[in-house]
Amino acid sequence: MIIARYLTRQIIAPTLGITAIIVAATMSNWLKTWLDDATGGQGASGELMVIILYYIPMFLQESLPVGFMMGILIAYGRLYSEYEMTSLLACGFRFRSLVGVTMIPATVLAVLMLGNNLWLSPTCQQIAAKAWARQESLTAFDLLTVGRFMEIGNSGQVLYVADLDNESSSMQNVFMSTDQETVFKAQEGEIRTDSDTGARYLVLKDGTQQSGEPGEDGYSVTYFEEYGVKIAEKQSRPKTKRESIPTSELIQSDLQEHKAELQWRLLTSLNFFIAVLLAVPLSRINPRQGKFLKIFPALMIYALFNMAQFNWARAVQKGDLPLEFGIFWLQGMVMLGCILWMTVPNMIRKWRAVR
């Protein structure tokens, strides 16, 4: 148990560090795109910073097994390069025992990942879906900046508000151009919501509507006490994505897409055991070769496996493959290949020694 605790400590530290780096890189990539949209008036940047946190459990589904595999390679590579592993194996600690000991943290992480896949990640995705629905319901009127011209909609409309009264939710000295020939100017403006339909309107008060070009035929100025313009339909409802469906609903569903998603949530936790079977043999190096020699080959092999697993799962979800040929076949073949890779060379050497 002392050896198991020591090896586990050596693995966990780099695993957590590498996983954090992968998650941070993924989050920054997604967040950059979202913030670009928010800067263009398509969302509130403050809430986007919160939404991205709800995606962390989903990011962990792929990043944590990779981080665990790299943690094994770095930890055991260092032990081999500093002759600690060589001394351990020389004292009777068998390579088979090394694989078994490494399976202990893999089992703990697999159980945690199973809980993440079945409960935490879907729950966070549901919260994120509701937040995205609120984002989609926002218009430039919700995101307006006082004293700045803002383009609203996709038809070139421009809005300017000189002042905003937060207590009464009213706008002062409003300017709005719906096209090149129609301009609205009003002393006040406010947002109203239709209680029946949920649609929202910008209501302008005490203003003028100028149509046409000054000095030409057709130019007119119309005075109004109140004028309403629809700015949004009823608020968006959360979009139901496969990742946000509760596991209990997936179990009761008869749709193949849902059953394939349930398979994905249950079986991807087995990737930790594949990481062990792949990383432990690759971590065995000559001290003169360098402790990080085999990290790149291991990453390439795991990337190919991960890509094949994703495409296989997509094929099952679309119905191109039956549920009976789920990703557990791919995982089983990879595990069998890794076991043969570890055992066959030793069997051949023993057979030659007997001869």
Over the stretch 139-175, which tens digit does the pLDDT of each residue have? 555 666 777 777 665 556 777 888 877 666 688 888 8
Q: Which residue has the higher pLDDT, 197 or 2?
A: 2
Res 354 pLDDT > 70: no
Instruction: Measure Cα distances from 294 to 16, 73, 289 in Å.
Output: 20, 8, 10
pLDDT level of residue 41 (50, 70, 90 thresholds): very low
pLDDT value at position 1? 73
Region at 55 (left for phi over 0; alpha for psi -120 to 50; beta for the rest):
alpha
pLDDT digits (tens, 9 = 90+) for 129-139: 887 777 666 65
pLDDT digits (tens, 9 = 90+) for 273-303: 999 999 999 888 777 766 677 888 889 999 9
Using the Cα atoms of residue 345, residue 346, residue 351 and residue 353 in order, give the sign of their dihedral: positive
Instruction: From 276, 270, 251, select the one nearest 327 (Cα to Cα).
Output: 270
Instruction: From 48, 62, 211, select the one nearest 128 (Cα to Cα).
Output: 48
Residue 280 main-chain phi, psi, to 5 deg: -60, -45
pLDDT value at position 45? 53
pLDDT value at position 40? 46
pLDDT value at position 153? 53
Give the residue ranges of DSSP H helices in the chain: 2-39, 45-51, 56-81, 84-90, 95-115, 121-137, 247-252, 256-267, 271-282, 295-318, 327-354
Res 107 pLDDT > 60: yes
pLDDT level of residue 116 (50, 70, 90 thresholds): very high
Average pLDDT of 258-277? 93
Res 24 pLDDT > 80: yes
CA distance 161 to 177: 12
Q: Among 24-28, 73-77, 128-132, 314-318, whose mean pLDDT is lowest?
A: 128-132
Torsion angle in degrees (nearest 10) through CA of 17, 23, 26, 30: -140
Average pLDDT of 88-113? 90
Torsion angle in degrees (nearest 10) through CA of 11, 15, 17, 22: 160
Max mean pLDDT range (76-90, 180-194, 208-222, 309-323) = 309-323
pTM of the model: 0.73
Average pLDDT, the chain: 82
* Structure tokens that stand for 102 in this block: 């490494």
Give the whole-number percent of the chain exceeding pLDDT 90.
Answer: 28
Average pLDDT of 117-124? 92
Q: Do 203 and 192 contact (CB within 8 A), yes or no?
A: yes
Using the Cα atoms of residue 16, residue 20, residue 21 and residue 26 in order, give the sign of their dihedral: positive
pLDDT value at position 103? 94
pLDDT value at position 34? 64
